[in-house]
Amino acid sequence: MNNYQTISSFIHVHKRFIVVFGVLLFIMACPSVMFITEYDEQIDRSATELQTRIETFLIKMERVAGTPEGEYRNNEDFYDEVLGTLNAMRERALAVDEEKNKQTLGIIDTIEDYVVCRLFWHM
């Protein structure tokens, strides 16, 4: 048996192994692709704190509705702080990668819309 026949025989017998090995080699050689940004602890922490502040504010508003303490002018600071926090979160998400943070930015916009509607309702 010559070398050509030996190699041909080897390939024929181990064809499946060679294909699997080739595919694995190709996959390992390709760079990884990320369609979203990596986890951002700062945005997560800000979102969690913001959620707690909004929930606490809504509970307070249920309790003080119809009293001077529940009037808009006595709660302006809350709205300013929430909108400021949302703006900071948006700027951080934009600074990292706007394209990969579309979902995060959409959520921030939705929360901001809710807060602004609540603000106008409260006025």
Query: pLDDT, tens digit, for every residue of 39-63?
Result: 778 888 999 999 999 999 999 999 9
- Mean pLDDT along residues 74-92: 93
* Per-position DSSP letters for 47-65, written without gaps between them: HHHHHHHHHHHHHHHHHHT
CA distances 19 to 12, 23, 24, Å, are 11, 6, 9
Write the pLDDT tens digit of every residue in 6-17: 666 655 555 666
**How far, in Å, CA of 4 to CA of 69, rounded?**
92
Residue 97: per-residue pLDDT: 79
- Mean pLDDT along residues 75-99: 91
Residue 84: per-residue pLDDT: 95
Distance of CA 111 to the CA centre of its chain: 14
Residue 96: per-residue pLDDT: 84
> 39, 84, 65, 80: which is closest to 122 by C-alpha?
65
How is the chain split into domains, by residue range? Answer: 1-33, 41-122
